[in-house]
Amino acid sequence: MPANIVVPEVGESIVDARIAKWLRKEGERVSAGDPLVELETDKIDLEVGAPAAGVLSRIDRKDGEDVKVGEVLGVIDEAAQSSAAVAPPAAAPAEPPASAEAKTTAKSRATPAAKKAAEQNDVDISRVQGTGDAGRVMRRDVERAAESSSAPAAAPKPAEARPALPEPARTRPAPPVPERPVTAAERTEDRVRMSKRRATIAKRLVEAQSTAAMLSTFNEVDMAAVMALRERHKQSFKDRHGVGLGIASFFVKAAIGALRAFPRLNAEVQGDEMVLKHYFDIGVAVGAAEGLVVPVIRNADRLGFAEIEKQIRDFATRAADGTLSLADLKGGTFTITNGGVFGSLLSTPILNPPQVGILGLHKIQDRPVAVNGQVQLRPMMYMALTYDHRIVDGAEAVRFLVKIKELVEDPGALLLE
C-alpha cells in the first residue's frame, strides 16, 4: 500500500518551505522514520522521515522547489522491492564494508546544518566525533574538525645564517613592470539562490521599513561600573552558576526597567489600536550561518542574571548548529541586538515587526570624556534605539534611552528595578 510523504505542519506561522536536499534516491528501500529529505523554512530547518517502511518509489518535488504544508513530496510503496533487489544478480560481497556502514550511520546522526558544513569544508563527517544528544554530530563539531585539519604545518627549520653581502649601489631605480590587463575571462561572477530564511529576512526588512515610521535616537553609556563589577565577581559567578557574567544580562535587565517606565515601547500596533503588553519577552539577536535569528527570553523580568546568561549562551550554541526550534523564535515584545561583537561602533537597527522598539549595542571603546571637570579615558559604548514613531514620541524614546543609560551606569539600581 503506498504512503505519501508530505510537508509536515511545523507551526502556525510557517505555511511553506523549500526542498534543500533529498537524502535518498528513487528505488531505495527505507525503514519507517528514516530521514528522507531536508526542508528549509524561514525560521528553522528540518528533516522529513519515512512515514512507513518500503521503497521510495517516486519523488514528486525536486531539490530547490518551494512547497506548502500538506503537499506531497513523494511516495513510499510498502509492497514494492528496491531497485537493488530486482537487478540481475552479480558477484558482490554479501555485506557492505564496515567503513561504508560507518559513513551511513554518521550521516544519519548528523544535523542538517552539520551536513551542510561538512560539504562546504570538505570534511568526512564519518570521522567527526559528535557532542550532541546521543552523540549526534553538530555544526560546531564539523567546524572544529575543519579548523584542526587546516592547521598550518610546522615551519621548516631556517637555513643556517650566513653573513650578509653588501648591497651594490644603484644609480637609478629599475623601470616599473607594466601591469597585465585583466581579461574578460578573469572577471567571474557567481549566481547563488537565497536560502528560504535569507529570502524571508530580506522580505521582512523591506516590509518593516514600508509599514512603520522608523526613527532612531542615540546616546552613549559609560561601562566602567559594569566592567568593574564583572571583574570583581566573574570567578565566583562562574564557579556558582557555571556560566560567565557577560554584559548582555545587564542590558536585558536595564531594558526591562526602562520598558516599565515607558510601556508604549513594549507594545505593538494593530489597526488603529495600541496593544500594551504587561509581560517582558526579550528577543536577543544572534548571528547564524543562514542569517540573523532572534530567539526570545520568555518572562525575562522573572529571571536572574545567571538564568539570562545561560539562555543567551544556549541560544548562540543552538543557532550555530541549527537546532533552534520554532518555539524559541516566536513572539517577543522588545529586541536587543549587539553589533559590537563584530566591531561595529555605531549603527541604526531595523525594527523586528510587530515590535515597536529595538535597542542596538556597539563596541566598547576607550574614549576621552569629561568627568568632574577633568578629562579621563573611559570605556564608552554608543547605544541606538530605533522606534516606531506612530505610537512612540521622540521625547519618550530619548527618555527611554536615558533610563537605560542611568541603570547601566549604576548597576546597583538594577536590583531595585
Q: What is the pLDDT of residues 1-20, one digit of tens each?
A: 788 999 988 776 678 888 88
CA dihedral sign, ordered 292, 295, 296, 300: negative
Residue 108 pLDDT: 53
Average pLDDT (233-261) is: 95
Where exactly does CATH 4.10.320.10 map onto the chain? 110-145
Confidence at residue 88, expressed as pLDDT on a 0 to 100 scale: 47
CATH 3.40.50.10540 fits 214-416, yes or no: no
* Nine-digit cell string for 293: 535569528
Give residue 2's pLDDT.
Answer: 85
Active site residues: 389, 393
Long-range Cβ contacts of 347-350 (<8 Å, 24+ apart): 347/384, 348/216, 348/384, 348/386, 349/216, 349/384, 349/386, 350/205, 350/208, 350/209, 350/214, 350/386
Grid cell listed for 147: 579548523
To the nearest whole percent, how much of the chain has pLDDT over 90?
48
Structure confidence by residue, pLDDT tens digits, 63-95: 988 898 889 999 998 876 555 444 444 444 444
pLDDT confidence of residue 133: 55
> Domain spanning 110-145: which superfamily?
E3-binding domain (4.10.320.10)
How many C-alpha atoms does 132 have within 13 Å on its Cβ side?
20
Longest dimension (CA), the chain: 92
Residue 99 scores a pLDDT above 60? no
Is residue 171 scored above 70 in pLDDT? no
> How much is the pTM?
0.68
Q: Is the pLDDT of residue 219 over 70?
A: yes
Domain with CATH 2.40.50.100 in the chain: 1-83
> How is domain 1-83 classified at the CATH fold level?
OB fold (Dihydrolipoamide Acetyltransferase, E2P) (2.40.50)
Contact 359, 290 (CB under 8 A): no
| Whether 49 contacts 76, CB under 8 Å | no
Q: Which three cell numbers stand for residue 74?
A: 513523494
Which part of the chain is CATH 3.30.559.10? 214-416
Q: What is the mean pLDDT of the chain?
A: 85
Other Cβ atoms within 10 Å of 51 Cβ, number: 17
